[in-house]
């Protein structure tokens, strides 16, 4: 073929390609629908190139046909459209999309939608708590399930620290609800605000009110332990009686410690133990021993009690030995604790209840002695119920039950008197052997530093060191650095939790501004990296739990007050002229009753 023929063939191919591209563009076909601007031009160029090749093939075919070599028709080449569109303006380019939100459900609920199982980077054993702040994955956990099922911790206990108003009790409320659904019995032993009473009622549990004029606790009543010992009988029953005796002795000693401000002497505990044994042996069945009975025995001075005082028949020596104890007991009965602890227990704990809350919110904030005594008595009674339940289960007389206790506002009983930390330590140290999980809640580690002696401070710090789980809400940086010496926190974890302690922003229109740390927690277990979570409460939880009820406007009371004011104005207007007096006026100003402006102003 000559050079002139080649040039004509190329011009013909270009012309055919442009015509074919324009026809496709006008018809909206070949994948060009919806393109405009640069995208349409680019598509036309690509289509022109494709058509040019097709035209060349057609021209070559015609020449070959004329030369005697016949070929079949060339197959038109379709316009190539990338899966994500063309780049450039108007090209319809689709960017990468964020992954969809992940939802988790049990295999019972979601087996039909997704019958496959997948692993998770966050713990999935226990009560659903919230979402991981970094990954958005669901985080589950609680002291009992992490101890029994997951084996993440060696002690079923939780210690929580955080500034007020950031949701500490909200998270514990969620644990209570989740554990109750699995058959665990929540025990809130001393609800101070109250934060948990409504939740326990919603679970069908028992709420017991303690305080002046509300109800009392007889600390000498063995309660559920005494009833269980009578049912079991034999050697096991005697062992339970001895344990109940020791628990009562510790509780009376705690009350005396609160009144005195210092611990009892060793010989005084021996005298008190002898008095309690004497009363148990001589009290008829069906009647419980009271604190006034202890005073009566000390006054009488039976031989069994005198023997431990080493009086050697000298009444003066006996009085010298028992008079300090006698005065302290009188201080309990005639002082701020007498109304609550001098009489029979108003309501005993129901060992078969699905949940129990001892509400002491009726005690005033300034009444530190009564608050500490009520909390200790509630803890002693509640943990005695736990021991009785397990003793009955060991004897085959009742099913095995697990318990989860909440010890909120721990700093209040700790500051009541020196030596109280020993009582709390004795009550809670053996929870692993009792089938009992617990949650202790306070504000900062400085609550322990405020204790009077170095020994008490060391024991209080031991609560954090022995805890299986440590949960931190927002805390200042200095507090987190001190906590890091006990728990082991990285610099990033200290900075993260410290940022949650910042105050809320200024509301532009007066609307509520939440603190940045509300609902955010860091869960630490041993030397593992912390798990930061965000807790979002449901509407049901919001109705059950509101720690700011005293700051909520009572709309019903406002409407009632307005209605009373309207009725009073109407009554005065019917009686005659409305008096209008100003401060300092010698006599009220009389105005006619039919003056509408006066009636409207008065209303």
Q: What's the pLDDT tens digit per position in 445-495?
A: 777 776 767 777 777 777 888 888 999 999 999 889 888 888 889 999 999
Domain spans, the chain: 120-203+354-369+401-422+435-504+515-552
Which is nearest to 187 in space by CA: 435, 517, 362, 368? 435
Distances (CA, A) of 544 to 203, 363, 549, 596: 11, 22, 11, 47
Q: Encode pLDDT of 403-419 as tens digits.
A: 999 988 777 777 665 66
Return the DSSP state at 590: E
Secondary structure tally for the chain: helices H, strands E: 23, 13
- The per-residue pLDDT for 510 is 53
pLDDT at 602 over 60: no
pLDDT at 27 over 70: no
- The per-residue pLDDT for 506 is 72
Distances (CA, A) of 435 to 146, 223, 388, 467, 468: 13, 19, 12, 15, 15
- The per-residue pLDDT for 408 is 82
Q: Who's near 246: CB < 8 A, 6+ residues apart?
A: none
- The per-residue pLDDT for 532 is 94
Q: At what angle do helices 234-260 and 420-428 cross, to 10 degrees?
A: 160
d(CA 264, CA 257) in angstroms, rounded, equals 6
Which is nearest to 247 in space by CA: 143, 391, 352, 111? 391
Section 253-260 average pLDDT: 85
Paired tokens of 400: 């095995």
d(CA 538, CA 520) in angstroms, rounded, equals 15
Section 279-292 average pLDDT: 86
Q: For 250, phi and psi rounded to 5 degrees?
A: -65, -35
pLDDT at 38 over 50: no
Section 8-26 average pLDDT: 61
172 close to 142: Cβ distance less than 8 angstroms: no
Q: Encode pLDDT of 420-438 as tens digits.
A: 677 666 655 555 566 788 8
Which is nearest to 304 in space by CA: 278, 265, 276? 278
Section 355-367 average pLDDT: 86
Paired tokens of 505: 């922003």
Section 14-22 average pLDDT: 60
Which is nearest to 431 in space by CA: 409, 451, 407? 407
- The per-residue pLDDT for 185 is 94
Which is nearest to 259 in space by CA: 305, 219, 310, 214? 219
Partnered with residue 580 across adjacent β-strands are: 589
Q: Encode pLDDT of 93-111 as tens digits.
A: 666 666 777 777 766 666 6
Give me Rg for the CA atoms of the chain: 40
Q: Encode pLDDT of 491-545 as tens digits.
A: 999 999 999 988 777 765 555 677 888 899 999 998 888 999 999 888 888 877 6
Partnered with residue 590 across adjacent β-strands are: 579
Please state which CATH number belongs to domain 120-203+354-369+401-422+435-504+515-552.
3.40.50.300
- Least-confidence region, from 15-29, 228-242, 350-364: 15-29
Q: Encode pLDDT of 314-359 as tens digits.
A: 999 999 999 999 999 988 888 778 778 888 888 889 888 999 999 9
Q: Encode pLDDT of 381-393 as tens digits.
A: 888 898 899 999 9
- The per-residue pLDDT for 83 is 65
362 close to 239: Cβ distance less than 8 angstroms: no
How many CA atoms does the CB half-sphere of 1 hold within 13 Å? 14
Per DSSP, the residues of 103-136 read ----HHHHTTT-------SS--SSSEEEEETTT-
Partnered with residue 206 across adjacent β-strands are: 356
Q: Who's near 279: CB < 8 A, 6+ residues apart?
A: 220, 289, 293, 294, 297
- At residue 475, the 3 state secondary structure works out as coil
Per DSSP, the residues of 207-236 read EEE-BTTTB---TT--THHHHHHHHH-HHH
Using pLDDT thresholds of 50, 70 and 90, give the confidence band for residue 551: low
- The per-residue pLDDT for 189 is 87
Summary mean pLDDT of the chain = 78
Which is nearest to 293 in space by CA: 341, 246, 336, 247? 341
Return the DSSP state at 74: P
* Backbone φ/ψ region at 278: left (φ over 0), alpha (ψ -120 to 50), beta: alpha
Q: Encode pLDDT of 43-54 as tens digits.
A: 555 555 565 555
d(CA 189, CA 206) in angstroms, rounded, equals 12
d(CA 22, CA 238) in angstroms, rounded, equals 104
């Amino acid at each position: 073929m000559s050079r002139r023929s080649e040039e004509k063939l190329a011009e013909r191919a270009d012309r055919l390609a442009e015509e074919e591209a324009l026809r496709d563009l006008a018809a909206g076909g070949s994948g060009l629908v919806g393109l405009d601007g640069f995208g349409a031009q680019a598509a036309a160029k690509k289509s022109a190139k494709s058509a040019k090749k097709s035209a060349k093939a057609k021209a070559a075919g015609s020449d070959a046909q004329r030369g005697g070599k016949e070929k079949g028709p060339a197959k038109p080449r379709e316009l190539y459209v990338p899966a994500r569109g063309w780049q450039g303006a108007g090209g319809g380019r689709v960017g990468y999309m964020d992954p969809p939100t992940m939802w988790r459900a049990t295999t019972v609920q979601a087996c039909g939608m997704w019958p496959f199982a997948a692993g998770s980077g966050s713990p999935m054993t226990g009560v659903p708590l919230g979402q991981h702040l970094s990954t958005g994955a669901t985080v589950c956990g609680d002291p009992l399930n992490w101890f029994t099922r997951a084996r993440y911790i060696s002690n079923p206990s939780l210690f929580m620290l955080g500034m007020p108003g950031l949701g500490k009790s909200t998270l514990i409320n969620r644990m209570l609800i989740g554990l109750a659904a699995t058959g665990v019995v929540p025990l809130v032993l001393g609800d101070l605000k109250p934060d948990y009473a409504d939740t326990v009622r919603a679970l069908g549990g028992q709420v017991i009110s303690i305080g002046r004029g509300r109800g009392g606790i007889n600390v000498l009543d063995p309660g559920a332990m005494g009833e269980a010992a009578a049912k079991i009988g034999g050697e096991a029953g005697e062992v339970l009686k001895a344990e109940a005796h020791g628990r009562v002795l510790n509780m009376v000693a705690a009350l005396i410690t609160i009144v005195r401000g210092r611990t009892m002497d060793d010989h005084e505990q021996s005298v008190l133990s002898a008095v309690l044994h004497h009363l148990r042996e001589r009290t008829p069945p069906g009647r419980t021993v009271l604190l006034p009975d202890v005073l009566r025995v000390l006054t009488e001075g039976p031989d069994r009690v005198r023997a431990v005082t080493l009086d050697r028949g000298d009444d003066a020596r006996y009085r010298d030995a028992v008079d300090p104890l006698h005065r302290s007991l009188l201080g309990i009965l005639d002082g701020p604790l007498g109304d609550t602890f001098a009489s029979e227990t108003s309501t005993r704990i129901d060992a078969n209840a699905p949940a129990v809350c001892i509400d002491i919110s009726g005690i005033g904030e300034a009444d530190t002695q009564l608050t500490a005594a009520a909390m200790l008595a509630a803890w002693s009674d509640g943990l005695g119920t736990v021991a009785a339940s397990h003793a009955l289960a060991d004897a085959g007389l009742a099913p095995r039950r697990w318990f989860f206790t909440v010890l909120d506002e721990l700093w209040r009983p700790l500051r009541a008197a020196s030596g109280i930390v020993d009582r709390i330590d004795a009550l809670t140290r053996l929870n692993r052997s009792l089938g009992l999980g617990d949650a202790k809640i306070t504000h900062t580690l400085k609550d322990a530093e405020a204790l009077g002696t170095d020994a008490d401070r060391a024991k209080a710090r031991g609560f954090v060191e022995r805890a299986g789980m440590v949960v931190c809400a927002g805390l200042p940086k200095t507090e987190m650095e001190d906590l890091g010496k006990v728990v082991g926190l990285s610099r990033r974890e200290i900075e993260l939790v410290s940022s949650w302690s910042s105050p809320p922003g200024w509301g532009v229109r007066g609307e509520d501004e939440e603190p940045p740390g509300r609902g955010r927690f860091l869960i630490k277990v041993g030397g593992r990296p912390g798990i930061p979570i965000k807790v979002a409460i449901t509407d049901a939880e919001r109705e059950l739990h509101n720690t700011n009820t005293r700051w909520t406007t009572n709309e019903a009371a406002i409407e009632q007050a307005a209605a009373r004011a309207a009725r009073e104005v109407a009554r005065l207007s019917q009686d005659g002229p409305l008096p209008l007096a100003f401060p300092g006026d010698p006599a009220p100003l009389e105005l006619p009753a039919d003056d509408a402006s006066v009636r409207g102003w008065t209303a």
